[in-house]
Amino acid sequence: MILGFKRKFPWGEPTLFKEKINYCLDKVNTLDRAMFPKVHSIRKGNRWKPGMLIHLAYGQRTKQYKCFQLATAKTVQAVRIYTDIKEVWVAKVGIGDSYIYDFNPLTKVQVEMLAINDGFDSVDLFWKWFNVDVDGQIISWVGKIYL
């Protein structure tokens, strides 16, 4: 399944998501040491399952489509993001394809870690990007889970 990424944030700065993902998966040091790798992506909905093949790409549904990396969804965790109160709640991961949807809030430190692991340089940029509530999933190609 295709997992598309934007090249720029809505405010114009480059996301560097491709470089952060490639750094994480290929261990190719193309990034400045101040940057962190992107180890997962947060998406609305509930369509991802562990073990699914991920086509990490730019320009999905356009003539500029470019798959820049293939990976496997090692873990998929349900997430709820509440922008008005700036809280993130995640569900505990069950065994196999079954999930326990018992949501628990992340601490501020965990939210900062989530933001950095999702490719943002700060939690402020994370909240700037997620400016509407999200009921979705954290898709990780390295097996990262929270709680």
In a domain, 147, yes or no: no
In a domain, 145, yes or no: no
Listed in sequence order, the residues at least 6 apart from 131 whose beta carbon sits closer than 8 Å to its beta carbon are 83
Q: Which helix (H) or strand (E) holds 109?
A: helix 108-117
Listed in sequence order, the residues at least 6 apart from 136 whose beta carbon sits closer than 8 Å to its beta carbon are 42, 43, 44, 45, 46, 78, 79, 80, 81
Distance (Å, rounded) from C-alpha 34 to C-alpha 137?
27
In a domain, 146, yes or no: no
- What pTM does this model have? 0.84
The total domain count for the chain is: 1
In a domain, 119, yes or no: yes
Distance (Å, rounded) from C-alpha 14 to C-alpha 103?
33
Question: One digit per residue, pLDDT tens: the chain, 147 residues?
Answer: 899 999 999 999 999 998 888 887 775 454 454 457 899 999 999 999 999 999 999 999 999 999 999 999 999 999 999 999 999 999 976 544 455 568 899 999 999 999 999 999 899 999 999 999 999 999 999 999 998
Here the tokens at position 97 are 């394809």
In a domain, 59, yes or no: yes
For 54, the domain range is 2-140
